Each structure stands twice: as C-alpha cells, then as structure tokens.
Amino acid sequence: MTVMAGAAGVPHALNALPTAAAVAVLCVLAAGEIVAVPGVLPGGTVTLLAGALIGAGRPPLAVAVPVAAAVIGGDQLCVMFQAIRQM
C-alpha cells in the first residue's frame, strides 16, 4: 500500500467512528504531528481533517475545542522537549 492509498482512507475511517472517538483520534494525531514535525504549521493536517469532520455534519464545538486544545498542548510539549534537549 502506498502512502497516498493509506491516507485516502482516513476521512472515511473517521466518519465511521462516533464523534468522541473520532475527536480523540484527531487529538492524538495532532500532538504526534507537532512533536514529530515541529518546523511546519502546528497541527495543520489534523486541523484540516477536523474541518472535514465538521463539514460532514459533526457538532462544530465538539470537534473544534478539543482539537484546538490538543494543538496548543502539543505545541507546548514540543517547546518543553526542545528546552530539555538544550540543557
């Protein structure tokens, strides 16, 4: 399976989950993306997926608030890791 083929199934898999489970997956992905690739827009890919969930009819506040908190938390976690590495 190529990377594109794997990525194409993500929105469908998230739509199959209940809202709370889909948002939990996005929150974990947001923190992981920010820590793994700190030089890009924090949580940009996950934020787009969250927008797709909202566009698919999920409650906007139930998706946006936890994902925003995960992006902010992941960013703070990344800053802490960088500070520890410089010690």
Q: What is the mean pLDDT of the chain?
A: 79
Write down the pLDDT at residue 7: 44
Write down the pLDDT at residue 2: 43
Q: Which residue from 66, 84, 81 is spatially nearest to 36, judged by alpha carbons?
A: 81
Q: What's the mean pLDDT in 16-43?
A: 83
Q: Are 63 and 15 in contact (CB under 8 A)?
A: no
Write down the pLDDT at residue 10: 55
CB proximity list for 64: less than 8 A, separation 6 or greater: 50, 54
pTM of the full predicted structure?
0.76
Separation of alpha carbons 45 and 51, rounded Å: 10
- pLDDT per residue over 73-85, tens digit each? 888 888 888 778 7
Q: What's the mean pLDDT in 34-63?
A: 82
Q: What's the mean pLDDT in 56-65?
A: 90
H helix runs in 3-58, sequence order: 3-8, 10-16, 19-36, 44-55
